[in-house]
A and B are shown apart, each in its own frame.
Chain A
Amino acid sequence: MNEDPARPPLPPPGEPTAAPAPSQTPAEDPVPRGFFVSPMAGGPGLGPAMEALLKHPGSAIHEFTDGTRAGPLSRSLLWIVLAGLALFGIAAVDFTHGIQWWATPLKLIGGLFLAALLCLPSLYIFSCLSGLEIRFKTSLGLLLSALALSGLLLAGFTPVVWVFSQSSDSLPFMGAVMILVWSISLFFGLKLLSASAAALGMKQKLHLRLWMGIFILVTFQMSCALRPLLGHADTFLPTGKKFFMQHWAEQLGRQP
Chain B
Amino acid sequence: MLSKNFRQAVRALPVLCQGRVEHLRDWLEQPTGARLAACAAAILLGGAAYGFTLGLWRAPLMGGFVAIKLPFLIVLTLLTNGLINGMFAQVLGSGLSFRQTLMALMMSFATFALITGALSPIALAAVWNAPAPGEPGGSTAYRTILLTHVVIIAFSGITAHQRFFPVLRAVSATPSAAGLVFTTWLAGNLLVGAQLSWNLRPFFGQPGRPVQFLRSDWNHSSFYESVWHNLTFLLSH
Interface positions, chain A 151-182, Cβ under 8 Å from B, are 152-153, 155-160, 163-164, 166-170, 173
The 8 A CB mask of B186-204 against A (1 = contact, 0 = none) is 0010011001101100000
* Cβ contacts under 8 Å, A169 to chain B: 220-221
A157 and B221 contact, CB distance less than 8 A = no
The 8 A CB mask of A133-153 against B (1 = contact, 0 = none) is 000000000000000010011
Given contacts A53-B91, A153-B87, A156-B87, 12 further A-B contacts (CB under 8 A): A34-B93, A54-B90, A156-B83, A159-B82, A163-B195, A166-B219, A167-B199, A167-B219, A167-B221, A168-B220, A188-B91, A256-B225
B221 and A55 contact, CB distance less than 8 A = no
19 A-B pairs whose Cβ atoms sit less than 8 Å apart in the complex: A34-B93, A34-B174, A54-B90, A153-B87, A155-B83, A156-B83, A159-B79, A159-B80, A159-B82, A160-B188, A163-B192, A163-B195, A163-B196, A163-B199, A167-B195, A167-B199, A167-B220, A167-B221, A169-B220
A242 within 8 A of B: no
A241 within 8 A of B: no
Q: Which of the listed residues A33, A156, A163 has the most CB atoms from chain B within 10 Å of its own CB?
A: A163
Name the residue on A nearest B79 (C-beta).
A159
User: Which 5 residue pairs are nearest across A and B when measured between Cβ atoms?
Assistant: A156-B84, A54-B90, A168-B222, A156-B83, A156-B87
* Cβ contacts under 8 Å, A159 to chain B: 79-84
Q: How far is the CA of A158 from the CA of B83 in the complex (A)?
A: 9
Residue total for A at the interface (Cβ-Cβ under 8 A): 24
B195 and A153 contact, CB distance less than 8 A = no
* Cβ contacts under 8 Å, B155 to chain A: none
* Cβ contacts under 8 Å, A152 to chain B: 87
Q: How far is the CA of A256 from the CA of B224 in the complex (A)?
A: 13
Q: Per a CB cutoff under 8 Å, which of A55, A160, A188 touches B80?
A: A160
Q: Per a CB cutoff under 8 Å, which of B87, B196, B221, B222 touches A54?
A: B87
Q: How far is the CA of A17 from the CA of B211 in the complex (A)?
A: 63
Q: Per a CB cutoff under 8 Å, which of B84, B93, B174, B224 touches A153?
A: B84
The 8 A CB mask of B157-186 against A (1 = contact, 0 = none) is 000000000000000011000000000000
* Cβ contacts under 8 Å, A155 to chain B: 83
* Cβ contacts under 8 Å, B188 to chain A: 160
B87 and A170 contact, CB distance less than 8 A = no
Residue total for B at the interface (Cβ-Cβ under 8 A): 26
Q: How far is the CA of A188 from the CA of B90 in the complex (A)?
A: 12
A residues engaging B (CB < 8 A)?
A: 33-34, 53-55, 149, 152-153, 155-160, 163-164, 166-170, 173, 188, 256
Q: How far is the CA of A156 from the CA of B192 in the complex (A)?
A: 14
Q: Which of the listed residues B196, B199, B222 has the most CB atoms from chain A within 10 Å of its own CB?
A: B222
| A interface: dominant SS | helix
Name the residue on A nearest B223 (C-beta).
A167
Q: Which of the listed residues B188, B220, B225 has the most CB atoms from chain A within 10 Å of its own CB?
A: B225
The 8 A CB mask of B71-93 against A (1 = contact, 0 = none) is 00000000111111011001101
* Cβ contacts under 8 Å, A168 to chain B: 220-222, 225
A167 and B198 contact, CB distance less than 8 A = yes
* Cβ contacts under 8 Å, A173 to chain B: 222, 224-225
Q: How far is the CA of A142 from the CA of B79 in the complex (A)?
A: 32
Known: A149-B91, A166-B219, A167-B199. A160 touches B84 (CB 8 A): yes
* Cβ contacts under 8 Å, A167 to chain B: 195, 198-199, 219-222
* Cβ contacts under 8 Å, B198 to chain A: 167
B174 and A33 contact, CB distance less than 8 A = yes
* Cβ contacts under 8 Å, A33 to chain B: 93, 174
* Cβ contacts under 8 Å, B219 to chain A: 166-167
* Cβ contacts under 8 Å, A188 to chain B: 91
Q: How far is the CA of A42 from the CA of B25 in the complex (A)?
A: 29
Q: How far is the CA of A166 from the CA of B198 in the complex (A)?
A: 13
Q: How far is the CA of A173 from the CA of B220 in the complex (A)?
A: 12
Q: How far is the CA of A122 from the CA of B33 in the complex (A)?
A: 51
Q: How far is the CA of A156 from the CA of B80 in the complex (A)?
A: 9
Q: What's the least CB distance linking A54 to chain B, in Å?
A: 4
Name the residue on B nearest A50 (C-beta).
B87
* Cβ contacts under 8 Å, B87 to chain A: 54, 152-153, 156
* Cβ contacts under 8 Å, B90 to chain A: 54-55
* Cβ contacts under 8 Å, B81 to chain A: 159-160
Q: How far is the CA of A140 from the CA of B51 in the complex (A)?
A: 54
Q: How far is the CA of A202 from the CA of B56 in the complex (A)?
A: 63
